[in-house]
Structure 1
Amino acid sequence: MISNMNAARVEFQAKIDSIKQYMQFRKVTKDLEIRVVKWFDYLWTEEKTCDEKLVLKNLPDKLKAEIAINVHLETLRKVRIFQDCEAGLLVELVLKLQPQVFSPGDYICKKGDIGREMYIIKEGKLAVVADDGVTQFVVLSDGAYFGEISILGIKGSKAGNRRTANIRSVGYSDLFALSKDDLMEALIEYPDAKYALEDKGRAILMKDNLIDESLINVTDAKDLENKVNQIEASYDVMSLKFRKLTAQYESSQRKLKQRLSNMSNQVRTLRTDNE
């Protein structure tokens, strides 16, 4: 056991040394070099040196899925908009969770950024800070989550799909991320759940006075206009295809008639010669 631990430490140290050499060769700033080395120290001390994907890569997909569900399902159930979702959808979402790690001082998001994913804190602390980067409003810890509303694209939201806060990692933080694209892909098979999630998100925004009714009407009008434009574009494309097919059909008919006419002439010629 001790021998294996020593071998692992030697291998890990070799990785650090090679990265140090690379940074020195590329003349990386001393501050960045220190941050990188601290990152590797964190990996070693917290026993996070194993790559989860690498460890599981030889398992059959079914077993991978079962492990993911066993490890992460309860974490996802804590998110309020997902609490009443059917088990099948939760399983789909669990399999789409992506682990991400942030270093001390890293910003997970800044106010005004476009929200493309939601986050769940697996381990660590995140601070919600003012624009000055100093004032802290609140500290989020294990099990907390944020960004779930922005990826739903709620009509009438005053913030739209923009982040409403600056969130920064206090120390090293392990997070799970669920992207908007992955959520929407999973919801294709669960249309009722999509409407239910949107209703929940809208209720949360209304409770916090973050819904603008006038924006809903504008959004609906824009959606209708976009749909009309899409229909018109589709109609134009179909019309063009139909005209091309008609032209091809007429051309093939003319060629066929010409071939039949030529064959008829050849037959008459043969009959004349035989007579």
Structure 2
Amino acid sequence: MEILTQMQSKRLKSAFDSSWRIIIIVAVLVQASILPLDFLFDLRANRWYWVLDFSISGLFLLDLLFNIYRYKKIRSHSVLKDVYWDTYSSWKYFIADVLAVLPYAFLLSGPLWQLLRLFKWVKVFQTMRHFQMRNIRNTSSILFWLLVFGTFLFSHWCACMWVRVHGIEPGLSNVDNYVQALYYTVSTITSVGYGDIVPHGNLEMLFNIILQFSGVALLALLVGSIVGVFTKKNPAEQRFIDNMEKLRALIHYQEISKDLEHRIGDYFTYELKQKLGYDESELMDALPFGLRNELQLEFKKNVIKDITLFESVDDQFVREIAQYLKPMILTPGDYLFRAGDKGKSMFFVQRGKLKVLSADELKQLTILRTGDFMGEIAMFKKTERTATVVSIGYSDIYELHRKEFDKVLKKYPEIAEKILVKSKSREERYI
């Protein structure tokens, strides 16, 4: 269906955009790691340095072109302009992109000019803001790893500064000098300080004091972020914990059978594993009607896509039918309906298996699986159910009431005719 194809296309574009931003962040981190080493050891004599420098310049140039494209796209789009104009039209981002894209190692002598490449750090903060605005999943994890790499870069730069302040030890290679400086820096930041390397002179002692104060602040920030990432629970997990606590309280004050206790616990576990434990009603209530329908369609698009009844139907029909589908969960052995019940609605299987039994429940007529539908015979004829349906395991079902379905089918009589034809053939098979 066209609407589902559009959703997949948007998802691919969003995934590419996020992946590209992460690539730029990695390029910025690599550039920031190489710069202080170039100051100390003049890396321009190495061929790999030039290859790396031009590669990063190429990535930054592509990023600049992408940003210009985004700028023009947002400028011509009334909705996007209202939301993201301040982010993409800011001159500070454009200037930072231009300054970062120039290959200073080739154009100008001396590594000092390479510091201008650090203007690309603005891109890191812009990207993190973009992730938060676009509600990218795992934002906390991304922030955590960014902080980890930031801690490494801080230690790395301080180690290079220590080599500059302390001086290069004669008789040691560049690698040995750097490793020794990094060891001293990390020992000082973490307040370990074995004392095997000590500062001499006022300049080195002042550097050590600044490093100690900076290290205390950095460690506090890092520890706080780690605790926040690993202790923060998503709403579904928190709801599961709350429900299990309520179940324990119920068992404490009320006598219930072990079997029922285990079944309730199994249901809560199933709800969590199937990612159904998050109550989205509060979020839905905060949205306007149009966005609420879009979100409902996003929730239900998979079941709609798998229902053979809705193949090649109008996109607007899918939108309208989605807003009336009401979810329900059946546990093993639950009856969806029995023969003789009044048929006021029909049902669609999102996940699970259900068995259709004869009226006397002695004969199994068929097995219903993902994408199947049932209950339409009694609903259309406004009669009693002709069969009994029982859930084999846990089953996720969508219910559609006759009143709402009639509203939609009045606009789409060809869909109603298709359902009637299929329901008649199923009725003949079950009788």
Fold agreement, TM-score > 0.5: yes
Question: Could you tell me which residue of structure 2 aligns to residue 123 of structure 1?
Answer: 351
Structure 1 residue 182 corresponds to structure 2 residue 410: no
Question: Could you tell me which residue of structure 2 aligns to residue 43 of structure 1?
Answer: 271
The two structures, once aligned, show a CA RMSD in angstroms of 3.2
CA distance in 2, matches of 1:179, 1:146: 12
Question: Could you tell me which residue of structure 2 aligns to residue 224 of structure 1?
Answer: none
Q: Deviations over 1:6-62 (max 9, x none)?
A: 997566334312233225534334432322121112122333221132343323221
User: What amino acid is the match of 1:69?
Assistant: L
**Pairwise CA distance, 1:130:** 4.4
**Pairwise CA distance, 1:79:** 4.8
CA distance in 1, matches of 2:421, 2:308: 12
CA distance in 2, matches of 1:135, 1:183: 31
Question: Could you tell me which residue of structure 2 aligns to residue 3 of structure 1?
Answer: 231
**Pairwise CA distance, 1:76:** 3.5
Distance change (3 Å), C-alpha of 1:63 and 1:104: same
Distance change (3 Å), C-alpha of 1:76 and 1:55: same
User: What amino acid is the match of 1:35?
Assistant: R
Question: Could you tell me which residue of structure 2 aligns to residue 63 of structure 1?
Answer: 291
Question: Could you tell me which residue of structure 2 aligns to residue 98 of structure 1?
Answer: 326
**Pairwise CA distance, 1:179:** 0.5
What 5-or-longer segments of structure 1 have no aligned partner? Answer: 154-159, 211-275
Question: Could you tell me which residue of structure 2 aligns to residue 114 of structure 1?
Answer: 342
User: What amino acid is the match of 1:182?
Assistant: E
Q: Of the candidates 386, 393, 398, which is equivalent to residue 164 of structure 1?
A: 386
Distance change (3 Å), C-alpha of 1:208 and 1:71: closer
**Pairwise CA distance, 1:171:** 1.2
Distance change (3 Å), C-alpha of 1:129 and 1:2: farther
User: What amino acid is the match of 1:173?
Assistant: S
CA distance in 2, matches of 1:133, 1:143: 24
Question: Could you tell me which residue of structure 2 aligns to residue 157 of structure 1?
Answer: none
User: What amino acid is the match of 2:246?
Assistant: S
Distance change (3 Å), C-alpha of 1:170 and 1:49: same
CA distance in 1, matches of 2:243, 2:415: 45
**Pairwise CA distance, 1:70:** 3.8
**Pairwise CA distance, 1:90:** 3.2
- Does the Cα contact within 8 Å between 2:237 and 2:277 map onto a contact in 1? no
User: What amino acid is the match of 2:407?
Assistant: E
- Does the Cα contact within 8 Å between 1:104 and 1:171 map onto a contact in 2? yes
Q: Of the candidates 344, 347, 370, which is equivalent to residue 142 of structure 1?
A: 370
- Does the Cα contact within 8 Å between 1:152 and 1:198 map onto a contact in 2? no
Question: Could you tell me which residue of structure 1 aligns to residue 316 of structure 2?
Answer: 88
- Does the Cα contact within 8 Å between 1:152 and 1:201 map onto a contact in 2? no
TM-score under structure 2 normalisation? 0.40
Q: Secondary structure at the match of 2:232?
A: helix
**Pairwise CA distance, 1:77:** 6.1
CA distance in 1, matches of 2:423, 2:370: 24
More strand per residue: 1
**Pairwise CA distance, 1:84:** 6.2
CA distance in 2, matches of 1:131, 1:162: 11
- Does the Cα contact within 8 Å between 2:243 and 2:268 map onto a contact in 1? no
**Count of residue correspondences:** 200
CA distance in 2, matches of 1:79, 1:149: 17
More helix per residue: 2
CA distance in 2, matches of 1:197, 1:55: 32
Give % identity. Answer: 25
Distance change (3 Å), C-alpha of 1:49 and 1:79: closer
CA distance in 2, matches of 1:173, 1:23: 26
User: What amino acid is the match of 1:165?
Assistant: A
**Pairwise CA distance, 1:143:** 1.1
Distance change (3 Å), C-alpha of 1:79 and 1:165: same
**Which structure is richer in relative contact order (CA contacts within 8 A, separation 6 or more)?**
1
Moved more, 135-144 or 73-82: 73-82
Structure 1 residue 13 corresponds to structure 2 residue 241: yes
- Does the Cα contact within 8 Å between 1:121 and 1:144 map onto a contact in 2? yes
Q: Secondary structure at the match of 1:35?
A: helix
Q: How does 1:184-263 map to 2 (within 5 A)?
A: 184-187=406-409, 190=411, 193-194=412-413, 196-204=414-422, 207=425
CA distance in 2, matches of 1:200, 1:8: 39
